[in-house]
Copies of this chain bind each other. A is one copy, B any other.
Amino acid sequence: MIRDKCGVFGIYGSRNAGSLTYLGLYALQHRGQESAGIVTAENGHFHSRLGMGLVNEVFASKTDIDPLKGYLAIGHNRYSTAGSSSVDNIQPLVIKFSRGDMALAHNGNITNYKQVKKELEKSGSIFRTSSDTEVILHLLAKSRKKRMELALAEALSKIVGAYSLVLLTPKQLVAARDPSGVRPLALGRRRSTWVVASETCAFDMIGAKYVRDVNPGEIIVINGNGLRSFDILKPSRHAFCIFEFIYFSRPDSLIYGMNVDKVRRRLGRQLAIEHPVKADIVISVPDSSNTAALGFSEASGIRYDIGFIRNHYVGRTFIQPEQKIRDLDVRKKFNVVRGVVDKKKVVIVDDSLVRGTTSKKLVTMLREAGAKEVHLRLSSPPITSPCFYGIDMPTKKELIASSKSVESIRRFLKADSVGYLSLQGMLELPALPPDEFCTACFTGKYPIKLFR
């Protein structure tokens, strides 16, 4: 089974629905680089193009986009998970069934996927993909309800997990978000055109305005009669993914209605308060921790500087020469600016620590470039438990903080000090009640039932 970290996009009511979806996926590229796909509906028929690679590889010329005619469309960016990548799993999934044609794009993870799949197989369902997304379509096919929202509610009532999804029929666009609201999904508008997207940066790209989030448990149906909202899924405790603030979303997006940038900066400020240090400069690991590092700098008064240059031309393929050049996997991506760190006490702010191997190499590179001291500060608490709600993470065993104390982590990294943001410190910063967030990866308390 494949865990998704993806971007979804849907649009209704523009005669360039296909091109605008392309632009939306472009802006959501950071959420998934393995594959991309667009399905549009025109006069009762679907047009689609799906492929492995980045948006600008799958849609490399006008001839790739031009056939995608129609007033409504959905699109999907898929994350690359080593080994399980496959042409069959590219989304949107497109099928034909009793309701006619349908396409579905999904961000999240269904935790009772195996159980539901087994049930479905017993009743004669056959599966083409190894993706959990396919069970939603099967459940929908089994529903006897005529109205789309009722059928979808019936299908979703049988699955447990995190999902933000967009669904296309020849005539309507449907969006839905799980009752816990784990993964984000925003609703926007551009004149008379409705759009939904994983992040609002996709709205900025096409000149649409953020209206509100699709609510946890909400089903939205958009068609010739306009937009209707249905609140028919059984409500649940909210469990917004806090990792979207820490690392995953783009800083220029609104997530759960808040500026990612602002929250991320507060994380940095709080980190400086919790783990002060005497140092000459604060640097980030570009680009994901830039904002947190700025926050750290502000609160600590230590000068922010650019200590690492990131090579943005790093592609999917990188050929490691036979001869061992130490740490080339990190070095190909980051180079130290020697003039900045030489003879300096350096604070390096990163967003989180997973395995710790990259950070270890960065610490070494800083020391080799002359840094006198290297202090690592992390703008999130220790990650001790893997995510089962749609973020791809290594197993518990591989998570360095699941078995090591902060001091042993420090020794492993060869850093002068290591400081993690506290759970409480983290939870106070967004403008939402702490108990509306999912903190499973930090606490091991999984708010949505797991099925193993």
Contact between chains at B127 and A335 (CB < 8 Å): no
Of the candidates B127, B252, B305, the one whose C-beta lies within 8 Å of that of A96 is B127
Closest to A323 in B: B16
Q: Is A367's beta carbon under 8 Å from chain B?
A: no
Distance between Cα atoms of A263 and B360 in the complex (Å): 30
Distance between Cα atoms of A314 and B54 in the complex (Å): 10
The residues of B that contact A26 with a CB separation of less than 8 Å are 311, 313, 318, 332
Query: Given A124-B123, A141-B121, A303-B298, are A20 and B321 also a contact pair (CB < 8 Å)?
Result: yes
Query: Given A141-B121, A141-B124, A332-B26, are A60 and B311 also a contact pair (CB < 8 Å)?
Result: no
Distance between Cα atoms of A206 and B337 in the complex (Å): 15
Q: Counting chain B CB atoms within 10 Å of each CB, which of A123, A124, A305, A312 scores highest?
A: A124
Contact between chains at B126 and A137 (CB < 8 Å): yes
Closest to A50 in B: B87
Q: Is A442's beta carbon under 8 Å from chain B?
A: no
Contact between chains at B16 and A313 (CB < 8 Å): no
Q: Is A294's beta carbon under 8 Å from chain B?
A: yes
Distance between Cα atoms of A101 and B26 in the complex (Å): 36
The residues of B that contact A54 with a CB separation of less than 8 Å are 313, 315
Distance between Cα atoms of A305 and B298 in the complex (Å): 10
The residues of B that contact A27 with a CB separation of less than 8 Å are 311, 335
User: Would you list which residues of chain A between 289 and 316 have a CB under 8 Å from chain B?
Assistant: 290-291, 294, 298, 303-306, 309-316
Closest Cβ of chain B to A1, distance in Å, is 12
Contact between chains at A122 and B95 (CB < 8 Å): no
The residues of B that contact A331 with a CB separation of less than 8 Å are 204-205
Total count of chain A residues near the partner, CB < 8 A = 86
Contact between chains at B304 and A304 (CB < 8 Å): yes
Contact between chains at B95 and A124 (CB < 8 Å): no
Distance between Cα atoms of A306 and B293 in the complex (Å): 11
Contact between chains at A309 and B16 (CB < 8 Å): no
Closest to A97 in B: B126
Query: Given A96-B127, A97-B125, A97-B126, are A29 and B322 also a contact pair (CB < 8 Å)?
Result: no
The residues of B that contact A138 with a CB separation of less than 8 Å are 124, 126
Q: Counting chain B CB atoms within 10 Å of each CB, which of A56, A62, A250 scores highest?
A: A56
Q: Is A372's beta carbon under 8 Å from chain B?
A: no
Distance between Cα atoms of A298 and B305 in the complex (Å): 10
Closest Cβ of chain B to A359, distance in Å, is 19
Contact between chains at A29 and B205 (CB < 8 Å): no
User: Would you list which residues of chain A between 14 and 68 have a CB under 8 Å from chain B?
Assistant: 14-16, 19-20, 22-23, 26-27, 29-30, 33, 54-57, 59-62, 64-65
Q: Is A262's beta carbon under 8 Å from chain B?
A: yes
Contact between chains at A95 and B294 (CB < 8 Å): no
Query: Given A27-B335, A207-B325, A313-B55, are A319 and B121 also a contact pair (CB < 8 Å)?
Result: no
Q: Is A176's beta carbon under 8 Å from chain B?
A: no
The residues of B that contact A321 with a CB separation of less than 8 Å are 16, 19-20, 22-23, 65
The residues of B that contact A141 with a CB separation of less than 8 Å are 121, 124-126
Distance between Cα atoms of A305 and B291 in the complex (Å): 8
Distance between Cα atoms of A244 and B328 in the complex (Å): 26
Q: Is A251's beta carbon under 8 Å from chain B?
A: yes
Distance between Cα atoms of A23 and B335 in the complex (Å): 13
Contact between chains at B311 and A127 (CB < 8 Å): no
Closest Cβ of chain B to A365, distance in Å, is 9
Question: Please, what's the 1-or-0 string for A97-110, where 1 marks a CB less than 8 Å from any CB in chain B?
Answer: 11000000000000
Of the candidates B56, B201, B251, B290, the one whose C-beta lies within 8 Å of that of A315 is B56
Query: Given A205-B335, A321-B19, A338-B259, are A96 and B313 also a contact pair (CB < 8 Å)?
Result: no
Question: Contacts A22-B321, A55-B313, A96-B126 given; 5 further ones with Cβ under 8 A?
Answer: A22-B319, A95-B127, A98-B122, A98-B124, A121-B141
Pairs across A and B, CB under 8 Å, 18 listed: A19-B319, A56-B314, A56-B315, A56-B316, A62-B319, A96-B127, A97-B121, A126-B137, A128-B128, A201-B309, A205-B335, A206-B325, A252-B336, A252-B337, A261-B306, A261-B337, A287-B312, A294-B305
10 interchain residue pairs of minimum CB distance: A19-B321, A259-B339, A56-B315, A98-B121, A124-B142, A29-B313, A97-B126, A96-B127, A124-B141, A95-B126
